[in-house]
Amino acid sequence: MKAKIIKLLFPLLLLVVWASQTSATLYCNRSYSQLTQNPGRPYNAVGFLNNGCTAFLIDSNHIVAAAHCFEDTTTGAWQTGLRFYPNFHPDRVVTDEKHVPRGDVTHIVVGSRAGESVLGTGMDWGIARIDNWRDTTGLDLTPLALAPSVPSLGTALVNPAYTRHHFPYNDSDAVTWDNMQWDTTNCGWVGSNHGMWAIQMHTAPIFDGTNRDTVGCNSRWAAGMIHANCTLTSVPNDVVIHDCDTVGGSSGSPIIYQNAQGNWSVVGVGHGGGPADFSQLAPVCTNDTPDHQDNGGASVERFRDAPRFASNVAVHRRPDNASATAVFGVDNDLNQVVYRSRSGAAPTYNSGFSFWKSLDTPQQGVRLTKVAACSVDATAKPQVFVVVNNQRIFTRWVLSNGGWSLWTDFGLQGIANTVVDIDASTDLQGRCLLFVTTEGGAFVRSKISDTTWGNWFTVASGAFRSISALNYNGAVWAAMVDTSGEIWRTSLGQAGWTAPIKLTRPPGVSAWRDIDMTWDEAARGFMLAVPTSGGNKLWFTPMYGNQPWSEWRFFDTHLWAPGAASQNAPNLLSITASRWMEDPAGTTSPVIFATDDNGNIYFIEYGRVGTPGWILDWKSFYHESIPY
């Protein structure tokens, strides 16, 4: 199906930094200054990625850069071996080349794994976790704050970046850090002249005690520079457009401003710029005129509250509209619950999603793992449950006035000391049921009125690591994955929960990782299962027909990468199946969400835009619009 975009975004400006030339704009007669060692705030948070991008700290263990600094935005393939060098300066290498401050990129979430040519500049942001910090003692690593809102147009901006293009060219003065050279050795792939004007390459650090870090056309290990003479010119569709110099290496750099109180914060992340061509034998600059505003990047609105490692999601309804989908997630890095909703007063499948909003954490210093959601009462306003420290469950719900309650301890009443997983469903009267798995079995608690919960009851004995439940065909069903990776099913009858029955496994599947149940497009129940071995197959078994629960089928899924060869599916860790709440009466549009080992959220769906049918390429759910 030909791709189209629900929400128009800024056009594609930049290709993958390690695979092709970066488009750029460098204005004539602009001044700039060097990003020195230990420069003080706010510049101390800015650093160098060893592939030639700029990045910046937003907390003690996370950096922001452009998505194309972390992946190939055509195929979605992750870059590997990435390291972050905070406040890098070549003099640090000269002083002690084995002990230059650095940390390893260990996992990454991005605005979209692929599809920049369809989604545009708004998807070109990424958040990476940095672990294994080394040689940072005494270094100020105070992060940059993320602006609570984008300032007014005309606001003065500053852009510190590790660019590989500086002015003047070959100036041969005493300021050696900005001297230029024509490089055909490392930049032979660039342009028609097979070379590039770039800052002279400096020596890379010895990152592991033996080997020097990556060197090449992009990673030139030069000092950064600061542009402080530019402004915010427009913000179309939450893409920050500015007239700061943007050249090779600016990708991922922070676009920052200082408010009236003297505090600095991030407005957006650098993406790319205009038409300057550094592959020409006679390099030129662009005249600086007021109408220039061709440099841009994703606004801070797009990633401020995006989960930095989504470990689990739940699907329910928007707090103010029961006909709109809301998706709740656990940010396992920041240990908070976040959510986003389908936008608009009367949302449809064509409507985009809001940016992520935070519901905070039940308690500071705790670890959150699993989330579930159901209706608090007949109004279908959401109630959210989250597992805390694998020992307790806290809940928060939407009040009659539209606000959220405070987090409240849900209470386990002595049934367990460890909570492994939770799921929510409804009983035959439509009231909420909360299911949990513990070290001693699976249990359920039901809501017996709009304000009162009943006691916990045993669903099944045993040690289970995952649970799913569904009200289907006149019964409430539950399925559990035990600690050996086997699936068991049971249902609630008049005499209580039936004895659990173990399901068979299809050939080639040795164990299951996670399960969930939902309805297909004909409103028939089916269960989905993710094998521990990963792969492109998403398995499911129908709950209907002559032999329910006995036949295994699969969806052959891949990563959404428009215009590229078929890509393998992400390595999925959790799965959540539901339906779009925008469905009119009598329609069921299943949607399947999943999280991967990097903490990204994806979905596949039964599409209702264009020709109905299953769309089996996993799309990122970090972007606000859904392409078809």
Same domain, 372 and 270: no
Same domain, 110 and 77: yes
pLDDT of residue 15: 31
Distances in whole angstroms, Cα of residue 507 to Cα of each of 531, 551, 553: 12, 12, 11
Average pLDDT, the chain: 90
Same domain, 59 and 204: yes
Same domain, 131 and 277: yes
pLDDT at 573 > cutoff 50: yes
Q: Is residue 240 part of a domain?
A: yes
pLDDT of residue 552: 97
Q: Under a CB-based contact definition with an 8 Å cutoff, are residues 337 and 361 in contact?
A: yes
Same domain, 53 and 106: yes
Mean pLDDT for 99-112 is 98
Confidence of residue 181 (pLDDT cuts 50, 70, 90): confident
Q: Under a CB-based contact definition with an 8 Å cutoff, are residues 600 and 620 in contact?
A: yes
Range with the lowest mean pLDDT among 30-39, 48-57, 117-126? 30-39
pLDDT at 102 > cutoff 60: yes
**pLDDT tens readout for residues 335-381:** 999 999 999 999 998 899 999 999 999 999 999 999 999 999 999 99
Same domain, 287 and 320: no
Cα-Cα-Cα-Cα dihedral of 432, 438, 443, 449, to 10°? -30
Q: Which residue has the tokens 């539901």?
A: 578
The residue out of 400, 431, 451 marking a domain boundary is 400
Q: Is residue 328 part of a domain?
A: yes
Same domain, 281 and 368: no
pLDDT of residue 168: 57
Mean pLDDT for 253-279 is 86
Q: Is residue 82 part of a domain?
A: yes
Same domain, 284 and 377: no
Q: Under a CB-based contact definition with an 8 Å cutoff, are residues 470 and 477 in contact?
A: yes
pLDDT at 172 > cutoff 60: no
pLDDT of residue 21: 32
**pLDDT tens readout for residues 594-615:** 999 999 999 999 998 877 899 9
Q: Is residue 27 part of a domain?
A: no
**pLDDT tens readout for residues 419-477:** 999 999 999 999 999 999 988 899 999 999 988 999 999 999 999 999 999 999 999 99
Same domain, 133 and 54: yes
* Residue 329 domain boundaries: 305-400
pLDDT of residue 16: 32
Same domain, 262 and 122: yes
Same domain, 47 and 154: yes
Phi then psi for 177, rounded to 5 degrees? -70, -15
Q: Is residue 205 part of a domain?
A: yes
pLDDT of residue 289: 63
The residue out of 369, 400, 431 marking a domain boundary is 400
Strand intervals (E) in 235-380? 239-242, 254-258, 264-269, 295-298, 310-318, 321-331, 336-341, 357-358, 368-375
pLDDT of residue 11: 25
Q: Is residue 265 part of a domain?
A: yes
The number of distinct structural domains making up the chain is 2
Q: Is residue 498 part of a domain?
A: no
Going by the DSSP 8-state scheme, the letter that residue 27 receives in this structure is: B
CATH number of the domain that residue 46 is part of: 2.40.10.10
Range with the lowest mean pLDDT among 110-119, 224-233, 284-293, 372-381? 284-293
Mean pLDDT for 495-515 is 96
pLDDT of residue 164: 85
C-alpha closest to that of 409 among 427, 436, 391: 391
Same domain, 259 and 374: no
Distance of CA 148 to the CA centre of its chain: 19
The residue count for the chain: 628
Q: Is residue 457 part of a domain?
A: no
